[in-house]
């Protein structure tokens, strides 16, 4: 029962969060973002102005927002227009604890940064390609590609690894277990590897190992990071 409670607590407890972007704490990944963005054929913009012009005196009415042109009217590739198109999709991301920001526009290449839960979501690539990129290419034909800009992550070091492990150790101790860093290899390479040594009854639980590995991957945001066990 203790081992079952340990695995359940590690995968569900709100107390175990991973801070990786501007101090924002993310409690879990969420794969609903890509599903919503990918399956929605038409996203209704909250900035559409459906109010008809009722002024007959030639005066110009004012509003607190800028309406987007109709869907069949292409937009120029500018920072403002890219942000206007993203604004149509932000409610779906925000609903799932995420957001998106423009990182850079380099010629026809647009770099976007997925923030919050969407940045660590396993479906972040789907969200970027099937949702955000698809809509941007529809509205701004000048864009050739939309790529994901990764936020700055901490260095792969014993100190940073132990920050993650310290959040897990209290639960392991309840089950009579311990966990320590055994080695770090391949820093700065294509596939860096962190080897951990876990002792006690919890060492036999693959679900606990998987949760710890996922927390390390979310913390460092390093493509190709491997977590192995001594």
* CATH code where residue 194 lies: 3.30.300.130
- For residues 117 and 205, state if they share a domain: no
- For residues 124 and 164, state if they share a domain: no
- For residues 75 and 108, state if they share a domain: yes
117 by Cβ neighbours in 10 Å (0-12 / 13-18 / 19+) ranks as buried
Alpha-carbon distance 177 to 195, whole Å? 17
- For residues 90 and 191, state if they share a domain: no
- For residues 168 and 143, state if they share a domain: no
Alpha-carbon distance 49 to 106, whole Å? 31
Position 53 in a domain = no
Q: What is the pTM of this model?
A: 0.46
pLDDT at 190: 74
- For residues 162 and 218, state if they share a domain: yes
- For residues 75 and 139, state if they share a domain: yes
- For residues 103 and 172, state if they share a domain: no
**With pLDDT > 70 as the criterion, what percentage of the chain qualifies?**
65
- For residues 107 and 40, state if they share a domain: yes
- For residues 37 and 92, state if they share a domain: yes
Position 55 in a domain = no
Kindly report, residue by residue over 93-115, the tens digit of the pLDDT: 888 888 889 989 999 999 998 88
What is the span of the domain harbouring residue 100?
31-48+65-148
Domain boundary (102, 133, 148) is at: 148
Residue 143 predicted with pLDDT over 90: yes
Alpha-carbon distance 175 to 168, whole Å? 12
Q: SS3 for 20-86, per residue?
A: EECCEEECCCCCHHHHHHHHCCCCCCCCCCCCCCCCCCCCCCCCCCCCCCCCCCCCCCCHHHHHHHH
Alpha helices in 66-199 (DSSP H): 79-95, 117-120, 124-126, 134-139, 158-174
The residue with greater pLDDT, 37 or 99, is 99
Q: How many domains does the chain have?
A: 2
Position 26 in a domain = no
Band of residue 70 on the pLDDT scale cut at 50, 70, 90: low
- For residues 136 and 158, state if they share a domain: no
Band of residue 154 on the pLDDT scale cut at 50, 70, 90: confident
Q: Which residue has the tokens 């927002």?
A: 65
- For residues 99 and 138, state if they share a domain: yes
pLDDT at 218: 79
Position 56 in a domain = no
Kindly report, residue by residue over 40-61, the tens digit of the pLDDT: 444 444 444 444 444 444 444 3
């Amino acid at each position: 029962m203790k081992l079952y409670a340990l695995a359940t607590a590690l995968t569900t407890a709100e107390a175990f969060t991973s801070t990786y972007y501007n101090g924002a704490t993310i409690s879990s990944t969420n794969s609903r973002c890509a599903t919503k963005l990918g399956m929605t054929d038409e996203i209704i913009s909250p900035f559409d102005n459906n109010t008809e012009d009722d002024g007959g005196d030639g005066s110009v009415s004012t509003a607190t927002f800028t309406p987007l042109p109709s869907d069949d009217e292409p937009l120029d590739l500018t920072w403002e227009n890219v942000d206007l198109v993203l604004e149509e999709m932000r409610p779906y991301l925000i609903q799932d604890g995420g957001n998106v920001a423009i990182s850079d526009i380099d010629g026809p290449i647009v770099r976007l940064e997925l923030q919050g839960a969407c940045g660590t979501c396993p479906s972040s690539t789907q969200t970027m390609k099937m949702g955000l990129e698809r809509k941007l290419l529809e509205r701004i034909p000048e864009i050739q590609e939309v790529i994901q800009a990764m936020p700055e992550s901490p260095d792969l070091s014993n100190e940073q690894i132990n920050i993650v492990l310290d959040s897990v150790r209290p639960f392991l101790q309840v089950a009579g277990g311990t966990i320590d860093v055994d080695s770090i290899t391949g820093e700065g390479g294509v596939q860096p590897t962190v080897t951990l040594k876990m002792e006690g009854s919890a060492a036999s639980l693959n679900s606990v190992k998987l949760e710890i590995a996922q927390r390390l991957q979310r913390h460092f945001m390093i493509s190709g990071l491997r977590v192995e066990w001594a």
